[in-house]
Chain A
């Protein structure tokens, strides 16, 4: 198998910052502020009125504009499918023309960043696991389409204005994340990817989602190791989604790996950035210089669908 690499990590957050207390006071959460604080959350980020998920995507890609190079494909993931259209529903209602339901942000991104050779793919049914899914789609494109040498992976979501910003007991932030996947040996080598979908639980309640979390995540990781012919001893860092910290204290005992090797330092200040958490945390880890060349990181995500995805990366 030819190797593919992930580099140029970037993210953007909703432009307004609110404390958990404000979020609870404003009716944005189901849990109390105290419970969310105990889970590890301190604040979250919300788009101002009028700002779209696409605005977030642009802000996430802008810092790596110069690094994009010859992008052959854009894989644009959204957790909430409505963020995969920036057209006006009102215009559709007025005109009854469905083109207003097909105003795709990936196409805009291609145009706005001048990525003329890029084809676009939307990924909108993997929920929080979408960004990890996009890495695998990128890998497949790179290995099967000779003219595609670089793929831009983007995930971007903002919640509807009146939505709760709590899902499965986690505090949510609007935000976007991006990275470039290529065959250029820089950044992180994509060692393995694995996913599980349990469609029968697509409309699972919050309690069912939590109820299935530990054993499915454990299975996901074991199957990923099996695929990659690795064990937990080969993993230097676990880079999970921003969820209740106790959940990973438990999972770290089950794997087992020392809890200090579970890196999700962004939980308090970023909250759960839908499918961008892994990129945010990996960027923190990278910027700090904590992860060393040759070390492997296990990126784990669970999301509605129900979907679980896992990626093993190796730092170059």
Chain B
């Protein structure tokens, strides 16, 4: 009988692939990488791409695929083969629309949980989530279940909160753990960036002089991690015997940079670049939420496509930039063998240096 495996949804994604790699490198477990693919050619292309990166583990690697919006996205996977699931498949854009967020992040996750319920030898299921399922609440953010009383900044946050709630209530009997990850801004402390998100898009607008406003308060803390830290933490936390646990894969407020420090650090790096220095671009002005909303509305009429696209990707997160959260990570620190937070300002600087050198990935 084949050995049961570790199944990772979106195992070809940014974090999913790094977690899969850790299982392959650090254990002798077989790994099943489940990829989002609507059609066979898409599935084959993704399979080929991952297989070529992990070809040294070919004998322990299998693939599955489907679409979370399908009725039975996991029908190709035999439940009895799976002993551990990490669900990282989700739409993580801040500007995801309500329907897509519901279909993929909530209903898709529910289908995964139903599938997990049918896995007879399941030892653990990890739901990759976000520290922003805390929504718009300020103050201490503990590693506990949240309610929705604070409201949410966007459909992404709400949908991930719904998925967490679903897991902890309707699938409470599963050996679950919720892994709330902060924003990954670099692969590791060298500052290398493989996957860009709203953080990188916003810095790009500032560097190219396309945005002179930033919503938020300079003192608002921002929670950043590296991809390596997040993947290591996920791997280690999934080895823990204790279930029904919530972890914040994040650093604390004291270990994090503020919005003001982020902007200052970024401009310090930008100013080392001769052509940026020559253009004498000014730091952005901090605006209230209403003024930024006006900019978002107005960008259709006084901004081109690039600005419009980038501002739209940042806008749904804007309300978070006014909220002083104190993320706690006690569970994480207790479970990790060697927890360490990087210098947050240095991490930002390193990421900015990489972004400039590669012109945001164009000359990588």
Tell me the A residues contacting B by CB distance below 8 Å.
31, 35-36, 38-39, 168-169, 198, 200-201, 204-208, 210-216, 218-219, 243-244, 246-247, 249-250, 253-254
Find out whether the CB atom of B298 lies under 8 angstroms from the CB atom of A244. yes
The CA of A39 and the CA of B278, in the complex, are separated in Å by 32
The 0/1 profile, CB within 8 Å of A marked 1, for residues 280-291 of chain B is: 111111011011
Report the Cα distance A36→B298, complex, angstroms: 11
Query: Are A206 and B297 in touch, CB under 8 angstroms?
Result: no
With both chains docked as a complex, state the minimum distance between the C-beta of A209 and any C-beta of chain B, in angstroms. Answer: 9
**Closest 9 pairs (CB-CB, A-B):** A246-B298, A215-B212, A211-B210, A169-B302, A253-B291, A214-B212, A215-B282, A207-B304, A35-B301
Which residue of chain A lies nearest to B284 when distances are taken between CB atoms in the complex? A215
Contacts of A254 in B (CB 8 A): 285, 287, 291
Question: Is there an interface contact between B209 and A212, defined as CB atoms closer than 8 Å?
Answer: yes
B213 contacts A39, CB within 8 Å?
no
Q: Confirm or deny: B69 has a beta carbon within 8 angstroms of a beta carbon on chain A.
A: no
Chain A residue nearest to B296 (CB atoms) is A246
What CA separation (Å) do A39 and B298 show in the bound complex? 8
In angstroms, Cα B303 to Cα A39, docked, is 12
Whether A168 and B302, one on each chain, are in contact in the complex, defined by CB atoms closer than 8 angstroms, is: yes
Is there contact, CB below 8 Å, between B294 and A211?
Answer: no
Contact at B294–A206, with CB atoms within 8 Å? no
Please name all residues of chain B whose beta carbon is closer than 8 Å to the beta carbon of A211 when the two chains form the complex: 205, 208-212, 307
Contact B209 A208 (CB under 8 A): yes
Report B294-313 residues with CB < 8 Å from chain A CB: 294-295, 297-298, 300-304, 306-307
Contact assessment for B285 and A218 in the assembled complex, using a CB-CB cutoff below 8 Å: yes
The majority secondary structure among interface residues of chain A is helix
Given contacts A200-B279, A208-B209, contact A253 B287 (CB under 8 A): yes
CB-CB contacts of B53-90 with A at 8 A, as 1s and 0s?
00000000000000000000000000000000000000
- Tell me which residues across on chain B come within 8 A of A214, comparing CB atoms: 212-213, 285
B282 touches A247 (CB 8 A): no
Give Cα A201–Cα B209 distance, bound, in whole angstroms.
10
Extra A-B contacts (5), CB below 8 Å, given A205-B304, A250-B291: A169-B303, A211-B211, A244-B298, A247-B298, A250-B295
Residues of A within 8 A of B307 (CB): 207, 210-211
Complex interface: chain A residues within 8 A of B281 (CB): 212
Chain B proximity of A140: nearest CB distance (Å): 26
Whether A210 pairs with B302 at a CB distance below 8 angstroms is yes
Closest to A254 in B: B285
Are A246 and B288 interface neighbours, CB within 8 A? no
Bound CA–CA A215/B297 (angstroms): 19
**Contact yes or no, B288 A253, CB < 8 A:** yes
Contacts of A210 in B (CB 8 A): 210, 302-303, 307
B283 to chain A minimum Cβ distance, whole angstroms, is: 7
Residues of B near A38 (CB, < 8 A) are 300-301
